[in-house]
Amino acid sequence: MANARDIRRRIKSVKNIQQITKAMKMVAAARLRRAQERAIASRPYTDKIREVLASVTANAGDASHPLLEVREVKQVGYLVLSADKGLAGAYSSNLVKEVLPQIRGKDNARLVTVGRKARDYFKRRGYKIDGEYFGFSEKPSYQDAVMLAELMADKFESGEYDEIYLTYTHFYSPVNQKPTTIKLLPVTGTGDGEETPQTEYIFEPSAGEVLSLLLPRYLETVIYGALLQSSASELGSRMTAMGSATDNAQELISKLTLNYNKVRQATITSEINEIVGGAEALK
């Protein structure tokens, strides 16, 4: 059985850890509020540009664009949005579980990762990574989305990838997030199977030039929305995980304190017995 000094040291160590997890929970909660507002505010824009694009492409006649080209699938690219840091519960592992079934055993699957966690996991296991970006998973900017959109568009137009999928974590609440995969390129409109209403458009200067302007903005908006969803999900997972860790530390401290009191009481009882025994021996 551990002595009282060892138990005191362990109680002190657990209390120090509890202070750290409590502080991390408070920081994540403070950042989550802003990230959640940004994620929720971006959804109407993402939904609307999908609706507009679906309507325009359906009524653009013979107009075409490289990002709309459907061709034989030889190489598939995955843009994976993960976290830069750990201590976020099952956030990163759930995202990996979403990606793995889609790429395992496929020689034509290639990855572009955002965040150190996805990069480290797939690189250690020998998967092909064509690009790795990190440093903005918690607080992405629109310029980050522009950079990623241009990268993926270039890879598709050059024929390096024939299809591109986007995997990210959709934010529902601080305790409810779901990894999701959507088809990014070639652009196919809504992608939800709904019938697009037929509307007559007059394109100025031409349908092709309208698509050339609209499609890059579509990619940027969708990727930016996914980055914001992932950011809120990461912070929500971290806040929940650090809250649980703080509660577990408090429970452990209570158990250790009880054990310490038992050991201390046993020590005092033993010392009393020794004193009584010594006094009896002197009679």
Query: pLDDT (tens digit, 9 = 90+) per residue, 208-243?
Result: 777 888 888 999 999 999 999 999 999 999 999 999
**What CATH fold (topology level) applies to the domain 21-241?**
Pyruvate Kinase; Chain: A, domain 1 (3.40.1380)
Q: Is 105 in a helix, a strand, or coil? A: coil
If you average pLDDT over residues 71-75, what whole number do you get? 89
- Distance CA(225)–CA(217), nearest Å, equals 12
Task: Provide the mean pLDDT of the chain.
Answer: 86
Q: With contact defined as beta carbons under 8 Å apart, do 75 and 112 qualify?
A: no
- Distance CA(283)–CA(280), nearest Å, equals 5
Q: Which of 137, 130, 150 is nearest to 226 (CA)?
A: 137
Confidence check: pLDDT of 207 > 70: no
Instruction: Please report, for the chain, the start and end positions of each structural domain, with discontinuous segments joined by +.
Output: 21-241
Q: Is 46 in a helix, a strand, or coil? A: helix
For 72, 150, 182, the CA distances from 185, given in Å and listed in that order, are: 13, 12, 9
Tell me if the bond preceding 186 is cis, omega within 30° of 0.
yes
- Facing residues of 114 across strands? 81, 133
Confidence check: pLDDT of 59 > 60: yes
Length of the chain (residues): 283
Looking at residue 191, its pLDDT comes to 45
Torsion (CA) 56, 222, 181, 162 in degrees, nearest 10: 60
Confidence check: pLDDT of 96 > 50: yes
Confidence class for position 193, pLDDT limits 50, 70, 90: very low
Confidence check: pLDDT of 195 > 60: no
Confidence check: pLDDT of 62 > 70: no
How many C-alpha atoms does 205 have within 13 Å on its Cβ side?
3
How many C-alpha atoms does 143 have within 13 Å on its Cβ side?
1
Confidence check: pLDDT of 112 > 80: yes
- Distance CA(70)–CA(80), nearest Å, equals 22
Question: Both tokens of residue 173?
Answer: 């609440």
Confidence class for position 104, pLDDT limits 50, 70, 90: confident
Determine what percent of the chain is predicted with pLDDT higher than 90.
Answer: 52
pTM, rounded to two decimals: 0.84
- Facing residues of 178 across strands? 170
Buried b (16+ CB within 10 A) or exposed e, 96-129: bebbeeebeeeeebbbbbbbbbbbebbeeeebee
